């Protein structure tokens, strides 16, 4: 979910107006914990990262399968944050990916939208829409597969114009937003194109992947005399598959580490598949601006025929940031008709 430095300014000014005694705590909460998912990335961070695969690693698209046979996948997800505060952040994603019949290629198309609503009238302060086209090529080896993926993304970022509170509106006595803004409100939309690339090694027993988002580091400044680029985001992820244990359960411990500028995130989780039921539990550490915080995520998913439904929540563990609300994420996955007669390995958890 993408914010620029102006959004951070808005959050601090908004809480200054509504709850002065909690300014410091709430500002630290927003910046240190939610910054990886609302700032530089231009890519939203879904906890169910292997359901929204096109946003995780371009090389992941086209690896959907049923009983080892390649299929197409329609994946949708929604993430809700800040539900107990007056500001509410929503991110929605919809995508399709499938192998290309007759060769080792696959493709995917996806879109996501982010909205920040705040205040008693739920006014939109910020919105972001992105469309992504992805292509991946698989090189099958004897026991492993090597896959490479590329994606191109178009993004349109818009502020709420007159609904937004600007810094120059604060009066001299710091008691309210009473002055007219001098900001050029006609320039509050920005369109950019950026690219991502990824590589993947995988087999029946596990996987390991690398991805680089925002390779071209586009300029997202709203004003022509400024240069504010999106820094590259580097992601390393992997997992091991242990099957036929504990009454045919499949256990997949996995990890994901990302770095973007000064922001680092490390996630460790375990997915357990029991026939059509999937359960997951994980923990995440985020380091940003000299702060460190931990959270725990839990997940439950169930498959019925061609439909898969998943739900997860994030719970903050850090004492200093105990006021952070729970983050909810809900996804629906539709498994389409078989595309290939040949086997396509799918060791990736849906979590």
Tell me the pLDDT tens digit for each residue of 148-174.
999 999 998 887 665 666 678 888 777
What total of structural domains would you count in the chain?
1
Output the CA–CA distances (angstroms, integers) from residue 267 to 19, 45, 271, 296, in the order listed: 33, 12, 13, 10
pLDDT for residue 253 is more than 90: yes
Give ∠ CA 235-239-241 in degrees, rounded to 5: 160
Least confident segment among 54-63, 75-84, 88-97: 75-84
Task: Judge whether 191 lies within some domain.
Answer: no
Q: What is the dihedral of CA 31, 284, 1, 219, to 10 degrees?
A: 70
Mean pLDDT within 23-43 = 39
Task: Judge whether 181 lies within some domain.
Answer: no
Mean pLDDT within 15-23 = 38
Q: What is the pLDDT of residue 55?
A: 93
pLDDT for residue 270 is more than 60: yes
Q: What pTM was computed for the model?
A: 0.78
d(CA 316, CA 283): 10
pLDDT for residue 36 is more than 50: no
Task: Judge whether 265 lies within some domain.
Answer: yes
Residue 55 belongs to domain spanning: 5-175+196-343
Q: What is the pLDDT of residue 124?
A: 57
Q: What is the pLDDT of residue 175?
A: 78
Answer whether 7's CB lies under 8 Å from 38's CB. Answer: yes
Tell me the pLDDT tens digit for each residue of 184-238.
665 578 889 999 999 999 998 999 999 999 999 888 777 666 777 888 999 999 9
Task: Judge whether 190 lies within some domain.
Answer: no
Answer whether 193's CB lies under 8 Å from 215's CB. Answer: no
Locate 133 and state its tokens.
Answer: 């086209």
**Phi/psi class of residue 122: alpha, beta or left (left: φ > 0; alpha: ψ in -120 to 50)?**
left
Q: How confident is the model at residue 290 (pLDDT cuts 50, 70, 90)?
A: confident
What is the number of alpha carbons within 13 Å of residue 181 lying toward its C-beta? Answer: 13
**Residue with more model confidence, 91 or 2:** 91
pLDDT for residue 25 is more than 50: no
Mean pLDDT within 316-339 = 76
Least confident segment among 14-28, 234-248, 315-329: 14-28
Locate 210 and state its tokens.
Answer: 């690398």
Task: Judge whether 100 lies within some domain.
Answer: yes
**Residue with more model confidence, 346 or 21:** 346
3-class SS shares of the chain: helix, strand, coil, % to 5: 15, 55, 30
Task: Judge whether 220 lies within some domain.
Answer: yes
Helices marked H in the chain: 5-18, 23-38, 53-56
pLDDT for residue 314 is more than 50: yes
Mean pLDDT of the chain: 79
Task: Judge whether 189 lies within some domain.
Answer: no
Q: What is the pLDDT of residue 86?
A: 60
Answer whether 106's CB lies under 8 Å from 98's CB. Answer: yes
Answer whether 211's CB lies under 8 Å from 224's CB. Answer: no
Task: Judge whether 188 lies within some domain.
Answer: no
Looking up residue 261, the CATH number of its domain turns out to be: 2.40.160.40
């Amino acid at each position: 979910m993408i914010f620029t430095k102006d959004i951070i300014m808005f959050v601090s000014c908004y809480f200054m107006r509504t709850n002065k005694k909690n300014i410091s705590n709430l500002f630290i909460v927003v910046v240190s914990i939610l910054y990886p998912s609302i700032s530089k990335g231009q890519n939203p961070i879904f906890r169910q990262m292997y359901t929204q695969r096109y946003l995780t690693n371009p090389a992941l698209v086209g690896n959907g399968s049923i009983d080892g046979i390649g299929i197409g996948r329609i994946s949708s997800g929604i993430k809700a944050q800040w539900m107990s505060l007056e500001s509410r952040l929503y991110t929605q994603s919809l995508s399709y990916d499938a192998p290309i019949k007759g060769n080792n290629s696959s493709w995917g198309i996806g879109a996501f939208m982010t909205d920040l609503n705040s205040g008693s009238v739920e006014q939109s302060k910020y919105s972001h829409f992105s469309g992504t086209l992805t292509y991946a090529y698989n090189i099958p080896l004897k026991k492993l597969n090597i896959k490479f993926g590329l994606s191109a993304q178009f993004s349109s970022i818009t502020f709420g114009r007159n609904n937004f509170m600007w810094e120059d509106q604060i009066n001299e006595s710091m008691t309210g937003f009473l002055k007219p803004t001098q900001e050029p409100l006609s320039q509050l939309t920005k369109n950019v194109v950026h690219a991502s690339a990824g590589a993947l090694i995988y087999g029946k027993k596990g996987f390991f992947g690398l991805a680089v988002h925002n390779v071209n580091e586009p300029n997202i400044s709203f004003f022509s005399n400024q240069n504010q680029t999106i820094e590259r985001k580097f992601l390393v992820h992997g997992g091991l598959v242990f099957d036929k244990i504990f009454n045919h359960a499949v256990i997949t411990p996995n990890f994901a580490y990302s770095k973007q500028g000064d922001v680092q995130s490390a996630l460790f989780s375990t997915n357990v598949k029991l026939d059509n039921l999937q359960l997951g539990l994980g923990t995440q550490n985020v380091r940003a601006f000299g702060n460190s915080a931990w959270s725990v995520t839990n997940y439950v998913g169930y498959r019925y025929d061609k439909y898969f439904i998943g739900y997860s929540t994030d719970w903050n563990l850090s004492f200093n940031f105990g006021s952070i609300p729970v983050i909810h994420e809900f996804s629906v996955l539709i498994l389409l008709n078989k595309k290939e007669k040949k086997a396509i390995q799918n060791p990736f958890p849906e979590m």
